[in-house]
A and B are shown apart, each in its own frame.
Chain A
Amino acid sequence: MATPFRKILKTKDFVVTAEAAPVKGSNVSKAIEHIELLKDKVDGLNVTDNQSSVMRYPSLGVCLLVKEHGGEPVLQVTCRDRNRLAIQADLLFAYSRGVDNVLCLTGDSIDVGDHKEAKQVFDLDSVQLIHLIHTLNSGQDMAGNELDGNIDFCIGTTATPSADPLEPQLIKVEKKLAAGVEFIQTQAVYELDELKRFVEFVRKIDDKVKILGGIVPVIGAKMAAYMNDNVPGVFIPQHLIDELAQTPKGTGVAKGIEIAARMIRQMREEKICDGVHIMFIGREEKVPDILEAAGLL
Chain B
Amino acid sequence: MIIAERKPMDEIKRMLAPYKKVLVAGCGTCVTVCWAGGEKEVAILASQLRLARSAEHNEISIFEASVERQCEREMVAEIKDKVTEVEAVISLACGAGVQTMSEMFEDKPVFPGVNTTFIGMPEKEGLWVEMCGACGDCFLDRTGGICPIVRCAKGLLNGPCGGTRKGGKCEIDPDKDCAWVLIYRRLEKQGRLDLMRNYYAPKNYRAVKRPGRIQAAKA
Task: Give chain A interface residues in 82-134, CB to chain B under 8 Å.
Answer: 84, 105-109, 111-112, 120, 122-128, 131-132
In the complex the two chains form, is A172's CB within 8 Å of B154's CB? no
In the complex the two chains form, is B171's CB within 8 Å of A171's CB? no
Smallest CB-CB separation from A164: which chain B residue?
B166
In the complex the two chains form, is A175's CB within 8 Å of B197's CB? yes
In the complex the two chains form, is A171's CB within 8 Å of B154's CB? no
Give the residues in chain B near A126, CB-CB below 8 Å.
158, 161
Tell me if B164 is interfacial: C-beta within 8 Å of chain A: yes
- Selected from A105, A108, A111, A163, the residue in CB contact (under 8 A) with B164 is A163
Tell me if B133 is interfacial: C-beta within 8 Å of chain A: no
Residues 163-187 of chain B, each 1 if its beta carbon lies under 8 Å from chain A, else 0: 1111110011000001011011000
Task: Give chain B interface residues in 141-170, CB to chain A under 8 Å.
Answer: 153-168
In the complex the two chains form, is A109's CB within 8 Å of B184's CB? no
Give the residues in chain A near B55, CB-CB below 8 Å.
none
Majority secondary structure of chain B interface residues (helix, strand, loop or mixed):
loop
Min CB–CB distance A238 → chain B (angstroms): 12
- Selected from B159, B163, B168, the residue in CB contact (under 8 A) with A172 is B159
In the complex the two chains form, is A120's CB within 8 Å of B154's CB? yes
Tell me if B196 is interfacial: C-beta within 8 Å of chain A: yes
Tell me if A158 is interfacial: C-beta within 8 Å of chain B: yes
In the complex the two chains form, is B160's CB within 8 Å of A111's CB? no
| Chain A residues with a Cβ closer than 8 Å to the other chain, count | 40
Min CB–CB distance B115 → chain A (angstroms): 15
Q: How far apart are the CA atoms of A65 and B200 in the complex, in Å?
A: 36
- Selected from A80, A123, A233, the residue in CB contact (under 8 A) with B162 is A233
Q: Which of A105, A124, A142, A165 has the most CB of B within 10 A?
A: A165
Tell me if B202 is interfacial: C-beta within 8 Å of chain A: yes
Tell me if B193 is interfacial: C-beta within 8 Å of chain A: yes
In the complex the two chains form, is B156's CB within 8 Å of A106's CB? yes
Min CB–CB distance B108 → chain A (angstroms): 32
In the complex the two chains form, is A128's CB within 8 Å of B160's CB? no
Task: Give chain A interface residues in 145-174, CB to chain B under 8 Å.
Answer: 158-160, 163-165, 167-169, 171-172, 174
A-B contact pairs, 28 of them (CB 8 A): A105-B162, A106-B156, A109-B171, A112-B171, A120-B155, A122-B154, A123-B205, A125-B157, A125-B158, A125-B159, A127-B158, A163-B162, A164-B167, A165-B167, A168-B164, A168-B183, A169-B160, A169-B162, A169-B164, A172-B158, A172-B159, A172-B160, A174-B197, A232-B163, A232-B164, A232-B171, A233-B163, A235-B166
- For the A-B complex with A108-B163, A175-B197 known, give 18 more contacts whose Cβ atoms are closer than 8 Å: A79-B154, A80-B154, A107-B154, A112-B171, A125-B158, A127-B199, A128-B158, A128-B202, A160-B164, A163-B160, A164-B166, A164-B167, A168-B164, A168-B178, A168-B181, A174-B197, A232-B163, A232-B164
